[in-house]
Structure 1
Amino acid sequence: MKFGDRIKERRTAQKMTLEQLAQATDSSKSYIWELENKNPPRPSAEKLSAIAKALDVTVDYLFGRDEQTLEQAEDKAFYRSYSGLPPETRRQLREMAKILGTKKPE
């Protein structure tokens, strides 16, 4: 899958419009459209990082440079967000994860 296809797939899966992704990444709607539809795209590192963050994946996932699954990319993006949280919030999330991990499936 190409870079632009991955952006579009993630954007539509999250029910984001071109305009919403553009706003989230401080880009123009036409710029996002070009990334999704032109080949080869030439985004800056700053824009790549912003797009990956807005779509809750990694830059590597968008480029398909490794064999990273979508789930693995989402986990890495979550950890990136988690790492930036205050210590008390991280502690609370760890406690919640323990509780959820011991819950029996219905």
Structure 2
Amino acid sequence: MTTPMGGRINAARKAKGFTLDQLAEKSGCSKSYIWELENKNPPRPSADKLASIAEALGTTVDVLIGTPINNVADLKPEDKVFFRKFSGLDPAKQDTIRKMIDLWDD
């Protein structure tokens, strides 16, 4: 049974079009280690390896482990709605939105 973190890693990997082998190569982790993170319950990630996986996937460790935004109370109601909708999108759509925001920020 996949854990929430394992599901997020798997979804992000597939959204990037990476196989287990490709993510292993890009992150410097073994294929079996990534498979275990995606499929074992509970996963036991190393902080360093999880950081390298997040970097290879173009995301953050916080996203992979599902850390909630700490300052949600400070957000406007419409921003809370946006983040709730954003969090429910598949990783590929989230990545597209991040790229759009990066273009506006330049």
TM-score interval for Structure 1 and Structure 2 normalised by the shorter chain: 0.5 to 0.7
The 2-side partners of 1:27 and 1:40 are apart by 18
Is residue 46 from structure 1 mapped to residue 59 from structure 2 by the alignment?
A: no
Letter in 1 for 2:10: K
Which one has the largest radius of gyration? 1
Match of 2:38 in 1: 36
Under a length normalisation based on structure 2, what TM-score does the superposition of the two structures give?
0.63
The 2-side partners of 1:42 and 1:60 are apart by 15
The 2-side partners of 1:59 and 1:49 are apart by 6
* Identical residues among aligned pairs (%): 51
Under a length normalisation based on structure 1, what TM-score does the superposition of the two structures give?
0.63
Which of the numbers 54, 61, 64 marks the counterpart of 1:62? Answer: 64
The 1-side partners of 2:22 and 2:30 are apart by 10
Provide structure 2 residue ranges, at least 5 long, that are not aligned to the other structure: 70-82
Q: C-alpha displacement at 1:6, in angstroms?
A: 0.3
Tell me how large the CA RMSD over aligned residues is: 2.8
Letter in 2 for 1:44: S
Provide structure 1 residue ranges, at least 5 long, that are not aligned to the other structure: 80-92, 98-106
Q: C-alpha displacement at 1:59, in angstroms?
A: 0.6
Aligned residues: 80
Ranges of 4+ aligned residues in structure 1 off by more than 4 Å: none
Higher relative contact order (CA 8 A, sep 6+): 2
Letter in 1 for 2:29: S
Q: C-alpha displacement at 1:43, in angstroms?
A: 1.2
In the TM superposition, 1:84-99 aligns within 5 A as 97=106
